[in-house]
Structure 1
């Protein structure tokens, strides 16, 4: 990984932090993209200590804010000519319906739309790399989801599972269409299911209820290090240099049902996402 530049979203905790430590220890230059600079600085210190690397940089971006994403991308492209690996790891779950600064339902806004815009804006640096790779953390939760084109922001009917499942299906359809558009380039785009990871439990850990739920379920969940393994494999495995548009679980390509491979839905979602985020087409 020496000489490689890696950008990881949601890098201050969980799989993002575990991935930062692993890649930095292997010699990569890692940029930790975090919304909260205070938490990000604490995580950066931990990553430096555990990896033994000083080649770890912290940059700020709120994936729930289009202006923040555009400002970050502009700053990044001025500073870095190439990006070898983009790991779209950040994700949110909300118990109640919330909106981003731009009025998007927060789960879809961050998990899909934020990464959609970020990825597209960073494509010049990925295409300038010897072999750019985009890895998006999806989830097996997609199986319970569908894209609610008639109510994408779930204004009519919201529940956390429905919102999260839709966002993870959107991650997969986005990856599929992105891979198609990049098929004549050196850049690949894949997504992964990390398994059930303890840090991904969508409850407030500061409440008594949240603490009890985490304590009860934690023994059945993977550690962040184990959860990050498949994403890191897809990001770095040499034999996958020509593999694109695929979904991986436990380091293996998985067959997907029709709803996750539908070309029309993928293109429709892309067009809607482009319009909402103001992406120039």
Structure 2
């Protein structure tokens, strides 16, 4: 079926008044643009970030641009399960329902490091932290008919596999390989979550920004950083797939949105496909079980 809105932009976002959107890593880059656009449409936006000062600065900036915008800040460090649990507890205390959870924050091609819980940094931050946060907030999402979990993946998922025999890269480490594994995990998580949400009023959707200018690429190899400006689009354009996944009424659970241009690097957001590995239901279920065991967060979903 052809796309009914081929050049979808923020102008196509419906009124979000009365809706609450929690966005991780929304103090800068793609997350900030996502927060700004939803706040401009009337949503109560919660900027969930590690650095409260940067989060408050982002909230103030949105407030100056859109007087009356409803933006708050929540401390959240995805590299610490204790922080994830504390943040989820505070969000639960302040919100009986959540309409949008946008798992946006991430790290890319970092030197070998571990999270505070001993997980490889990229897998622990990009996947396990968001897996835990979503599970701890799932009842607040289920309480809101029409709610969505949007998880931001990457074209990088095509260059990784889930190494169940060395998930934490203890035997060998590749910056790109670990990043690819974490972004593939984002998709496997989304598809498995959608299957478990079947029959509820909540859906899980994924998106990716293509090649977008942001701070995320600061650890990329020099050759990648040199060629990137030739391929990149603005953060405003890069945020559109996430925004469409979050707000377009035609979106369905289990879909994946990305730029519609050459190699999904740039362009207006379209429904796209991920690689064959991401649709392997056996791997999806196995990763889910491993993620519950590693985080200690068990979802109340069959």
TM over 0.5: yes
Judge conservation of contact 1:127–1:185 (CA < 8 Å) in 2. yes
Tell me the distance in 2 between the aligned counterparts of 1:239 and 1:32.
26
What pairs with 1:126-137 in structure 2 (closer than 5 Å)?
A: 126-137=141-152
Judge conservation of contact 1:25–1:52 (CA < 8 Å) in 2. no
TM-score (norm 2): 0.86
> Which of 260, 273, 279 is the equivalent residue of 2:291?
273
Gaps in structure 2 of 5+ consecutive residues: 1-15, 260-268
Paired residues in the alignment total 275
Matched, 1:246 2:264: no
Matched, 1:259 2:277: yes
Tell me the distance in 2 between the aligned counterparts of 1:51 and 1:186.
31
What is the Cα deviation at residue 117 of structure 1? 0.5
Tell me the distance in 1 between the aligned counterparts of 2:253 and 2:219.
36
Judge conservation of contact 1:21–1:48 (CA < 8 Å) in 2. no
What is the Cα deviation at residue 75 of structure 1? 1.1
Tell me the distance in 2 between the aligned counterparts of 1:257 and 1:215.
27
What is the Cα deviation at residue 249 of structure 1? 1.6
> Which of 154, 175, 178 is the equivalent residue of 2:190?
175
Tell me the distance in 2 between the aligned counterparts of 1:214 and 1:40.
27
Pick closer, same or farther for the CA change 1:255–1:19 going to 2, 3 Å. closer
> Which of 90, 96, 112 is the equivalent residue of 1:97?
112
Tell me the distance in 2 between the aligned counterparts of 1:8 and 1:51.
18
Secondary structure, aligned partner of 1:81 = coil
Judge conservation of contact 2:109–2:176 (CA < 8 Å) in 1. no
* Corresponding residue of 2:13: none
What is the Cα deviation at residue 58 of structure 1? 0.5
Matched, 1:196 2:211: yes
What is the Cα deviation at residue 272 of structure 1? 0.4
Judge conservation of contact 2:40–2:69 (CA < 8 Å) in 1. no
Q: Which moved more, 1:96-105 or 1:47-56?
A: 47-56
Tell me the distance in 1 between the aligned counterparts of 2:272 and 2:231.
23
Gaps in structure 1 of 5+ consecutive residues: none
Tell me the distance in 1 between the aligned counterparts of 2:34 and 2:68.
13
What pairs with 1:9-158 in structure 2 (closer than 5 Å)?
A: 9-158=24-173
> Which of 207, 214, 229 is the equivalent residue of 2:240?
229
Tell me the distance in 2 between the aligned counterparts of 1:115 and 1:220.
28
Alignment RMSD: 1.9
